[in-house]
Chains A and B, each alone.
Chain A
């Protein structure tokens, strides 16, 4: 089945630095990928929709200058958390969809801790 590979699985960074998270579709082309954020014991919050070759679409309340999304190819989307602060610490998950009826395939997530 469709596989989405997400790296790194865990990252600890210092406050003020930037962190890049990669999401790759391994055996299919993903023209659209989705980035979610999940706080402890809470549901997934859609942050943005990443579109190959065009600008990402951000959900209301998500700072596009802080969470930079790049989708330069049909198999790779990246999320960069710029000037990270402790409140950005969270679990970030990407996903992609092969076909409308197939549901979404999720990456394994990235645990970001900003110290």
Chain B
């Protein structure tokens, strides 16, 4: 079965500091991995995705993530946090192939301090 674990339900960084949001996955087949961002009372917006191509994936708003198979990780990073990055971030996994389900982690709330 596939699953996703996000370590740290709350992360607080200073503006300009490095953002690191952790995600570990469990999958019996090569997975597709995604990071989504959610602002209050809104749907989810795709930040980036890994679909078995390059292991370092660049997304929108300066975010990137690296797929590390040996560590079963897909951590999200951004070199310099902006106030506008404050939001909830979800890591998700979808088994490759025809399976449709998207399985979410529990989310990490990112706070950015001035």
Chain A interface residues toward B at CB < 8 A: 4, 6, 9, 32, 34, 41-44, 46, 49, 91, 93, 95, 97, 100-109, 111
Contact of A109 with B43 at beta-carbon distance under 8 Å, contacts A49-B100, A49-B101 already known: yes
Interface size on B, residues (CB 8 A): 25
| CB nearest neighbor in A for B99 | A100
Are A100 and B32 interface neighbours, CB within 8 A? yes
Q: Chain B residues near A97 (CB, 8 Å)?
A: 100
CA gap between A103 and B101 in the complex, in Å: 11
Q: Known A-B contacts: A6-B43, A46-B101, A109-B42. Give 14 more (CB < 8 A).
A: A9-B41, A34-B102, A43-B104, A46-B103, A49-B100, A91-B41, A93-B44, A103-B46, A103-B49, A104-B44, A106-B43, A106-B45, A107-B43, A109-B41
Q: Chain A residues near B107 (CB, 8 Å)?
A: 42-43
Are A32 and B90 interface neighbours, CB within 8 A? no
Are B34 and A44 interface neighbours, CB within 8 A? no
Are B44 and A43 interface neighbours, CB within 8 A? no
Are A108 and B42 interface neighbours, CB within 8 A? yes
Are A43 and B32 interface neighbours, CB within 8 A? no
Considering the complex, which residues of chain B in the window 38-81 have a beta carbon less than 8 Å from any beta carbon of chain A? Answer: 41-46, 49, 51
3 closest Cβ pairs, A-B complex: A106-B43, A101-B51, A106-B44
Are A101 and B49 interface neighbours, CB within 8 A? yes
Q: Chain B residues near A100 (CB, 8 Å)?
A: 32, 94, 96-98
CA gap between A105 and B49 in the complex, in Å: 12
CA gap between A111 and B100 in the complex, in Å: 25
Q: Chain A residues near B51 (CB, 8 Å)?
A: 101
Please pick, from A41, A102, A108, the residue contacting B43 in the complex, using a CB distance under 8 A. Answer: A108
| CB of B24 to closest CB in A, whole Å | 15
CA gap between A43 and B97 in the complex, in Å: 24
| CB of A99 to closest CB in B, whole Å | 10
CA gap between A46 and B96 in the complex, in Å: 18
| CB of B89 to closest CB in A, whole Å | 11
Q: Chain B residues near A44 (CB, 8 Å)?
A: 44, 90, 104
Q: Chain A residues near B44 (CB, 8 Å)?
A: 44, 93, 95, 104, 106
